[in-house]
A = this chain, B = another copy of it.
């Protein structure tokens, strides 16, 4: 079951297709992957949580967080803020992967829906750029819980707005 997780069949029929300019999805910084991983490595909050970056593509990143009791809320699920932390980082670094050198990334805002209680062995956050811009980048992402038996369940959905920060040395990436 692990290799072919259950998927809503209707999703395949009605999957959203984003229409736009493909050229904007080419990273202007050839070293985008090393740059993203380097910046992620400076996020001490990710180390505190125990999260690791597992994938970097142009306009997309993936972060994995193993379950620990120290991350839970009162019912034993991982706290919504912790789930949001990995979703936000995944989106922010998806955006950074498409930014030119000498700028930094800051989160302007995000909205998160918690679809299911965050129960599982590990949590996989993916963020994607859906609209790259010179100043603003819009991202979507989700966090999927993986159970011990290989079952997967989407636990959170994020829609986020990132800013390309120029000329502020304290906010360089």
Contact = CB atoms under 8 A, between A and B. Distances in A.
B7 A17 contact: yes
A142 B13 contact: no
A79 interface: yes
A72 B44 contact: yes
B43 A73 contact: yes
Q: Is the interface of A mostly helix, strand, loop or mixed?
A: mixed
13 contacts: A6-B21, A7-B17, A8-B20, A14-B60, A16-B141, A45-B70, A75-B170, A75-B171, A80-B110, A81-B84, A81-B86, A140-B157, A157-B159
Nearest to A136: B108
A81 B45 contact: yes
Chain copies in the assembled complex? 4
Nearest to A24: B8
Instruction: Kindly list the 8 A-B residue pairs having the minimum CB-CB distance in the complex, ordered from nearest.
Output: A81-B85, A45-B79, A111-B111, A19-B152, A42-B74, A115-B131, A109-B113, A14-B60
A112 B109 contact: yes
A10 B130 contact: no
Interface string A1-26: 00001111111011111111110010
Nearest to A78: B45
Contacts of A46: 79
Nearest to A158: B159
